[in-house]
Amino acid sequence: MKAPSPPRSDHMRRAMRNLLLLVLVAIGLSLAALPRIERSFLAKTSDRESATLRIATESLRGALSRSEALPALLAERPILTDLLHDPTNVGLLPFVNEQLRQTALTLDLADIYVMDAKGLTIAASNYRREDSFVGRSFAFRPYFTDAMREGRGRFHALGLTSGQRGYYFAAPIIDETEILGVVAVKILLHGFEETWRNGDNTILVTDPNNVIFLSDREDWHFNTLGPVADGVLAAIDATRQYPLERIRTLDVAHEAVAPSVDLLRIQTREGPEEYLSNVGLIAAAGWRVWVLTPTGPAIAQARQVLALLILLSLFAGLVAALFLQRRARALEQQAQQRIYQETLIDRVAERTADLNAANRQLLQEVDERRATEDQLRRTQSELVQAGKLAALGQMSAGLSHEFNQPLAAVKAYAENALTLMERGRQEEARSNMGLILQMADRMAAISRHLRNFARRPQEKIGPVPLIPVLEDVLSLMDNRIKAAEARITIDRPEGDIFVMGGQVRLQQVLVNLLANALDAMETQPAPEIGIRVAGLDSGRWIVEVRDHGEGLTDDTMAQLFDPFFTTKSPGKGLGLGLSISYNIVRDFGGTLSARNHPEGGAIFAVELDDARDRVAEDEVAAQ
Ligand code: ADP
């Protein structure tokens, strides 16, 4: 038998280990890919937010540029020149104030105001208010100095009186060549913060010094993104741009994670915050506009994708595991089938070998049996002969008597005949001669029987006249019958009876049966043997020999026809008679059986086929 394939658990264990490794590698690769996925999501978010940045930048730039040219336009107004020529003109001042107020309302400006060459405000749109600019000097503000010196000025600052963050544009009021003063407009910008507050992200505007000027996160107002350069604080203080006490430095770190992806990490009191930053520039104001988007959602999305990838890996692993399991099972079944087939083939081969051996043995036994049968047949024939010789021995005493008696009679008849012939009594002598002939015939008959009996049976089976055979047997046994003082009765139908058999062997059978019957009644003073010949319905003939002895015990009945079974003393019986008789009758195609008579004694029955039809064909057999 071939070596069996490895058991299923080994197959499976190896496959499962490989699969687990594969899944782990897939998960590992997914984890390794996480930064890339995060970057990709951040880049996408950054792309999206660049639109927000554009809108914020453009709206701010628009607001500023709308107001940029206004001071120069206003400076053209003659009444402003007139007023500056005569600042104390009480007729003109209220008119100018009112005009400025109306203009500011119309143009949606926070304030419009006019300063003289020293920076003192002489007229303002907010003239009515308590905290009006009128009478206040703004000579320290860069928009004033710039306008005086360079022809225009711009500035952003926290309003000193309003406390609101504003953008200032200023232009000089010139009469011919003399600069009489400056007109300034202020716009408020905190409205933008309201708009920005609605979005998910934080928008802030930093000035060239990195100070956060606008932002929807109020707590960051006037904070700086990173440390400020030397002298900056002094300049801020000089121009009173922002309140110094509110300026704080935010702890900020920049990181460019991809070409278009910049991260901004800010340490706040609540902890670190991380943003994607998109930065735009408003060059005219020197401002930077920052759109800060929290990285949380993008990173969460990236992690979701990662989780999905891992789940997919696991699912693929599961499907693969199922597939492998199926395949392993199929392979195992195939292997088992192979083993089963091989076992079957082996078994068939073994069986065939067994059968061949058994066949050989059988053939050998058949040969042996045949040889034994031959041997048996030979032995049997020898035994038949031996049986016959034994019977002959038994009969010899009687035979000598049988011969002596007629011989003595012949002698007496012959002497008698001689005497009668001498005396011329021819007739009487002839009668004596007749008697002598009879005696000679009788002796010839006896002699013939003996010859036949002693001869090995070479006779053919054919029609045999039953009654003459029976009579011959009785005459052969006559001596013994007489010695036992036995009485023989014969019950037979009229007419000739022919049966199938051999004459001599049939005689032998009947001699045996009669001898056994006499033996069975040995101790009886007047033994009686009943012989019955009858035709059967089957068309066969039956010859029954009945005695009045002890009968047959069960034990005897069981072994009756076995060779050498005898209950007689060693000198008397060989135990061959019935066994030989049985075989003889069987050779004739008949049967020999024994039973007990209900009234005592044994009955031996010989059944033979009727042979009348064949008498004509084979006369010789009947001789
Ligand atoms: P043998 O006569 O030499 O013993 P047989 O084969 O003729 O051999 O008989 C076998 C035995 O069968 C006898 O020994 C006897 O016991 C029994 N047997 C035969 N015939 C009779 C009978 N008529 N009655 C009782 N027993 C018988």
Among 244, 270, 294, the domain boundary falls at 294
The answer, yes or no, to whether residue 622 has pLDDT greater than 50, is: no
Task: Look at residue 422 and tell me if it is in a domain.
Answer: no
From 275, 311, 288, select the one nearest 56 (Cα to Cα).
Answer: 288
Instruction: Classify residue 338: in a domain, yes or no.
Output: no
**Which residue from 513, 528, 566, 579 has its CB within 8 A of the most atoms of ligand 1, so it is best to mutate?**
566
| Residues whose beta carbon lies within 6 Å of some atom of ligand 1 | 512, 516-517, 520, 547, 549, 552, 556, 560, 565-568, 573-579, 602
CA of 572 to the centre of ligand 1 (A): 11
Region 603-620: mean pLDDT is 83
Query: Quick one: pLDDT band at residue 159, thresholds 50, 70, 90?
Result: confident
- Measured in angstroms, how far is the CA atom of residue 39 from the centroid of ligand 1? 124
User: What is the phi/psi pair of residue 287, to 5°?
Assistant: -95, 155
- Residue numbers of the domain that contains 467: 462-618
Same domain for 614 and 488: yes
* CATH classification of the domain holding 157: 3.30.450.20
Domain contains 176: yes
What's the number of domains the chain is made of? 3
200 and 58 part of one domain: yes
Q: Does 196 lie in the same domain as 175? A: no
Q: What is the reported pLDDT for 531?
A: 97
Residues 565 and 589 in one domain: yes
Instruction: Provide the H-helix boundaries in 226-295.
Output: 232-239
Ligand 1 atom with minimal separation from the 568 CA: 14
| Cα angle for residues 587, 588, 593 (degrees, 5° grid) | 85
Q: SS3 of 465, please?
A: strand
Average pLDDT, the chain: 87
Specify if 199 maps to a domain: yes
Q: Please name the residue whose Cα sits nearest to atom 23 of ligand 1.
A: 517
Task: Judge whether 407 lies within some domain.
Answer: no
pLDDT the model gives residue 2:
44
Q: What is the pLDDT of residues 47-87, one digit of tens each?
A: 888 899 999 999 999 999 999 999 999 999 999 999 999 99
**Residue 516 CA, ligand 1 centroid: distance in Å:** 5
Note whether 173 and 245 are same-domain residues.
Answer: no
The answer as to whether 374 is a domain residue is no
Q: How far, in Å, is the centroid of ligand 1 from the Cα of 154? A: 163
551 in Cβ contact with 514 (< 8 Å): no
Q: What is the pLDDT of residues 257-272, one digit of tens each?
A: 888 788 999 988 888 9
Same domain for 115 and 180, yes or no, is yes
Strands 178-188 and 271-282: unpaired
Q: Backbone phi, then psi, for 545, in 5-degree steps?
A: -115, 115
Answer yes or no: do 606 and 593 share one domain: yes
Looking at the fold, whether 202 and 164 belong to one and the same domain comes out as no
Taking residue 64's Cβ as centre, other Cβ atoms within 10 Å add up to 19
Co-location of 128 and 139 in the same domain: yes
Percent of the chain with pLDDT over 90: 50
Q: Report, as an integer, the average pLDDT of 464-487.
A: 92
Pair 609, 476 in one domain: yes
CATH number at residue 561: 3.30.565.10
Mean pLDDT score, 564-583: 79
Q: For ligand 1, atom 3, name the residue with the nearest CA.
A: 573
Which atom in ligand 1 lies closest to the alpha carbon of residue 549?
Answer: 24
The last residue of one of the domains, among 188, 214, 240, is: 188
pLDDT greater than 60 at residue 599: yes
Q: Is residue 434 part of a domain?
A: no
List the residue whose alpha carbon is closest to atom 20 of ligand 1.
516
Q: Of 260, 294, 328, which residue constitutes the final position of a domain? A: 294
Tell me if 230 is assigned to some domain.
Answer: yes
Q: Are residues 493 and 612 in the same domain?
A: yes
Check whether residue 486 and residue 605 sit in a common domain.
Answer: yes
**Mean pLDDT of the 518-533 span:** 95
Range of weakest confidence among 112-126, 380-394, 429-443: 380-394
CA angle 89/94/98 to nearest 5° reads 145
> The whole model's pTM is what?
0.51
Choice from 574, 578, 580 to test ligand 1 binding pocket (greatest atom count within 8 A of CB): 578
Q: Whose CA is nearest to atom 2 of ligand 1?
A: 573
